[in-house]
Amino acid sequence: MALAIKIVIIVVVIALIILVLRSKLKDGLRVLLIVLFIVVGVLASLFPIERWFIRASTPEEAFAQTVSSGEIMDVIHGKNSCMIYYSTGENSSSVCFFEIENGEYRPIDMIDVNVVSAHREDLNLIRVVQLPNTKEHYLLGILHSPTHVLEMQDEYSTEFYINEVYRIANDSSYDVFAYLPEYSGDYQVAINGASIPLPLMLDQNLSIFNFTL
């Protein structure tokens, strides 16, 4: 549905441009209107305008209206939000977030999801992200284990979602996720008994899209 909304808006913009070109308006006004319509079309393609239109009563409905293809593997529920972990192909996956407002699920643009803490070691990467409006925190990670065993825990008895992506002779790769209602600057998570600190980073305006470590 999100893609359909943007396509409709772009088609309308093109139709308006054609009408202006065929009109008897003065050249200056015609150029101004065409530029205005082009700007509207570009903004419609770049920004999450679907947020204004999409309302769903369940995460699954919101996902179906927002994501063009993919199979839901897990729904991680927060207080006023949720995260959907979904498959995009063999050994390929992604996530999306939804805000809950008045009992309805609305999509959150990933560009507005900020990384507030991160830890990298070899092939392992853990990030803590914060959602824009609810200010809730989620943990996202890619972890490896040569023993094919992965256990995670923290002092808050957080429920960690662990999915084995692949397994070879001396390595297993896992996608891991969690909702962190108790996240603070001194948060730590234990991975197979080893404590990993995830302190709050100073730059809290670092989009998950622009994040490197």
Segments making up each domain of the chain, as ranges: 2-47, 59-197
Are the C-beta atoms of 114 and 205 separated by less than 8 Å?
yes
pLDDT of 155 > 60? The answer is yes
Q: Using the structure block, give the residue that is written with the tokens 């995260």.
A: 83
Distance CA 36, CA 39 (A): 5
In this predicted model, what pLDDT tens digit does every residue of 58-117 receive, in sequence order? 999 999 888 878 899 999 999 999 999 999 887 788 999 999 999 999 999 888 899 999
Which H or E element spans position 35?
Answer: helix 27-46
Say whether pLDDT at 48 is over 60.
Answer: no
Report the distance separating Cα 205 and Cα 112, nearest Å: 9
pLDDT for residue 128 is more than 90 = yes
* pTM of the predicted protein model: 0.76
The pLDDT mean for the chain works out to 84
Q: What is residue 204's predicted lDDT score, i.e. its pLDDT?
A: 55
- Neighbour-count burial for 184-194, b at 16+ CB within 10 Å, e otherwise: eeebebebeee
**Pairing state between β 171-179 and 137-145:** antiparallel
DSSP codes, 153-186: E-TT----EEEEEEEETTEEEEEEEEE-TT--TT
Burial 95-112 (b: 16+ CB within 10 A, else e): bbbbbbeeeebbbbbeeb
Tokens representing 49? 């305008």
Q: What is the DSSP letter of 112?
A: G
- pLDDT over 50 (residue 212): no
How far out from the chain centre does Cα 51 lie?
13
**Cα end-to-end distance, the chain, whole Å:** 34
The stretch 124-151 carries a mean pLDDT of 94
Residue 213 confidence (pLDDT)? 42
Kindly state the percentage of the chain with pLDDT values over 90.
52
For residue 210, pLDDT over 70 is answered with no
What is the per-residue pLDDT across 161-204, written as a single tens digit (0 to 9) for each? 999 999 999 999 999 999 999 999 899 999 999 999 999 886 55
Percentage of residues of the chain with pLDDT beyond 70: 84
The token pair at 23 is 């009109």
Which pLDDT does position 161 carry in this prediction? 96
